[in-house]
Structure 1
């Protein structure tokens, strides 16, 4: 069985939109907030978190954004691994996916992910894809979450976890501090949130 691992760049208040200004929404005016925290150690942490061999699970918007960037990003370990990975995209229009290799999840995305997870193969990595990450967490399909946490408060933007799904609990696994002040925190998925009776 494959593991599903979510990796996210995230602010202290839960915003996961590190891209260019207006990349995700016309209302998001803090694009590029993550740039000042980039470092060789951060790149190494991302490569380590992804592993040597993986496939991607992506929402359609993240896939389309990445299609315009990663195939042209040059010969780097991150670009090479992302370009080589099979991309499984949550989409109703699988016929127009250009950046490959591409796998098909089928019309029922959750059933397709369950079937894919049950096969032999490399881990499945999820980047961005805020709608997909919330669904995967809600359905109990996530094994591990790696949050690269930056010391900024953004106030608004795309959130890691939708407020329309039930609360979930994670167990702390490890942390690593980067020279820029960012933290790489790894968690294991536990399940529904437990509260005092």
Structure 2
């Protein structure tokens, strides 16, 4: 069975859109593309080398595929470009696509069912980069096995967010963490089951508390 591994760069307020460059993704009038660029350091370089060292195939949304296919095949002297080009690429989209990048296959139809079939296959892990819309589908269907989350010490205010409409009430287990000299928090999480709420409240609720609850119900 294959694992789906998400590697994502986010701001403190959860924006994942266009970390790499000004023209990467201007959807919605996004003006802050390239916000990641000023935070490189040796530790982050080591982290990316470790992520890229494992065998993997790519699982991408349509927009990220188009961004990657317009850049990485023309930069195969870069180890990342070479490895991305040689990897199998599964592109999720329900309308016809031109797939010029070698080793590319479209995933369409019942997307969740097709993704589950991919996971059931023998093979390398499926690595997801970017692909904000696809990520919401994966979150909603609980198909992500691991998240490499790199959180940068900035806020952006608007843009595509990692935990958007597909987010479910679940818990995660932190499996590793480190902080880079530039202040980037690098953490890896694995799903750990459904969210089970608890309470710090002890004793019976006061009359004031009961009144507050009724007041707030009415305000809804």
TM-score normalised to structure 2 length: 0.82
Residue 193 of structure 1: how far off its partner (Å)? 2.4
Please list the CA deviations of residues 155-186 of structure 1 after superposition, one character each: whole Å capped at 9, or x if unmatched. Answer: 11110011354333211111122222212100
Please list the CA deviations of residues 8-62 of structure 1 after superposition, one character each: whole Å capped at 9, or x if unmatched. Answer: 0111110112133352324211111111012343233123124421001111011
1:76 is aligned to: 78
1:28 is aligned to: 30
1:105 is aligned to: 107
1:4 is aligned to: 4
1:8 aligned counterpart, secondary structure: strand
Unaligned 5+ segments in structure 2 are 200-220
| Structure 1 runs, 4 residues or longer, greater than 4 Å off | none
Q: Which whole-Å CA distance do the structure 1 matches of 2:92 and 2:191 have between them?
A: 22
Q: Which whole-Å CA distance do the structure 1 matches of 2:39 and 2:130 have between them?
A: 18
Contact 2:93 2:106 in 1 (8 A): no
1:91 is aligned to: 93
Q: Which whole-Å CA distance do the structure 2 matches of 1:97 and 1:54 have between them?
A: 19
Contact 2:6 2:128 in 1 (8 A): yes
Q: Which whole-Å CA distance do the structure 1 matches of 2:81 and 2:45 have between them?
A: 11
Q: Which whole-Å CA distance do the structure 2 matches of 1:83 and 1:181 have between them?
A: 31
**CA distance change for structure 1 residues 164 and 112 in 2, over 3 Å: closer, same or farther?**
closer
Return 40-49 or 8-17, whichever deviates more.
Answer: 40-49
Structure 1 segment 14-163 matched on structure 2, within 5 A: 14-17=14-17, 18-21=19-22, 23-163=25-165
Q: Which whole-Å CA distance do the structure 2 matches of 1:57 and 1:148 have between them?
A: 19
Please list the CA deviations of residues 55-86 of structure 1 after superposition, one character each: whole Å capped at 9, or x if unmatched. Answer: 01111011011111111124222222211111
Residue 97 of structure 1: how far off its partner (Å)? 0.9
CA RMSD of aligned residues (A): 1.8
Return 101-110 or 130-139, whichever deviates more.
Answer: 101-110
TM-score normalised to structure 1 length: 0.91
**CA distance change for structure 1 residues 164 and 92 in 2, over 3 Å: closer, same or farther?**
closer
Contact 1:47 1:77 in 2 (8 A): no
Unaligned 5+ segments in structure 1 are none
Say which structure, 1 or 2, has more relative contact order (CA 8 Å, 6+ apart). 1
Q: Which whole-Å CA distance do the structure 1 matches of 2:103 and 2:45 have between them?
A: 24
Residue 135 of structure 1: how far off its partner (Å)? 1.2
Larger-gyration structure (1/2) = 2
